[in-house]
Amino acid sequence: MELSLFSPALAARTQIVIINKIDLPHVREKLGELRAQLAKAAGHSRIFALSAATGERVEDLMQRVRLQLDKMAVEDGATPTEMFGGTLALGDGQVLDEMERLADFTVETRSFDGIYRIKGEALDKLVRRTNWDYYEARVRFQKTLNAIGITAALKAKGARDGDTVEVNGMQFDYSAEDNPYAEAAREDGFDD
């Protein structure tokens, strides 16, 4: 379900499910049961067990993923980079362009509180799938806003640094900076 929110096209792709922590005795003990449950839930048997902590089977996984990507590229006539870039082919001949979907938005200004509200179905999904606890996720979100033209649209609507912007209930301060690291630098006391 979570993958479908991120990208329906990716959710339709071949998947490999990973079981981690097989270095722990209680996980290794239940490995057969876990495999069976995950295979049933996933609807396939591409279940791979490893230990990220010890590195056990990590290299095997990397080789398995490489083979799967090569197989998918041959089937689709595309390179892995093309498959996982901004445009993905759906099975029925349709093409899904994630950037086009994200760029379908409107900007409204609420006169009673001055908040700039951005509306768009794909943007709402982007907000839901962003983990706001991680700085890197916030940087990626800001870069996406810049890339699809939201920063420019807000500026055109009269937004100034520090104005409140809201997307799907998530509020943040507008910044005209093209560099998302500038905000973090200012927070750390660097003004130049």
Residue 84 has pLDDT above 50, yes or no: no
What is the average per-residue pLDDT within 171-179?
A: 73
161 or 4, higher pLDDT: 161
The answer to whether 102 touches 130, Cβ cutoff 8 Å, is no
Backbone angles phi, psi at 26, to 5 degrees: -70, -25
The answer to whether 123 touches 105, Cβ cutoff 8 Å, is yes
The answer to whether 185 touches 136, Cβ cutoff 8 Å, is no
Lowest mean pLDDT among 41-45, 61-65, 89-93: 89-93
> Largest Cα–Cα distance in the chain?
61
- Please enumerate in sequence order all residues whose Cβ is within 8 A of that of 38, keeping only pairs 6 or more positions apart, or say none: 17, 19, 47
Percent share of the chain, pLDDT over 70: 71
pLDDT tens digit string along 152-164? 888 888 888 888 9
Residue 34 has pLDDT above 80, yes or no: yes
* Tokens at 95, concatenated: 């093409």
What does the alpha-carbon distance between residue 144 and residue 138 come to, in Å, rounded to a whole number?
Answer: 10
**Model pLDDT, residue 83:** 42
Q: How far is CA 93 from CA 9, 39, 90, 96, in A?
A: 12, 29, 6, 10
The answer to whether 165 touches 154, Cβ cutoff 8 Å, is yes
What does the alpha-carbon distance between residue 145 and residue 180 come to, in Å, rounded to a whole number?
Answer: 10
What does the alpha-carbon distance between residue 56 and residue 60 come to, in Å, rounded to a whole number?
Answer: 9
SS3 string, 148-185, reads HCHHHHHHHCCCCCCCEEEECCEEEECCCCCCCHHHHH
What does the alpha-carbon distance between residue 35 and residue 119 come to, in Å, rounded to a whole number?
Answer: 41
What is the average per-residue pLDDT within 74-90?
A: 49
pLDDT tens digit string along 87-145? 545 555 555 456 666 777 888 887 788 899 999 888 888 888 888 888 878 877 887 78
Its pTM stands at 0.45
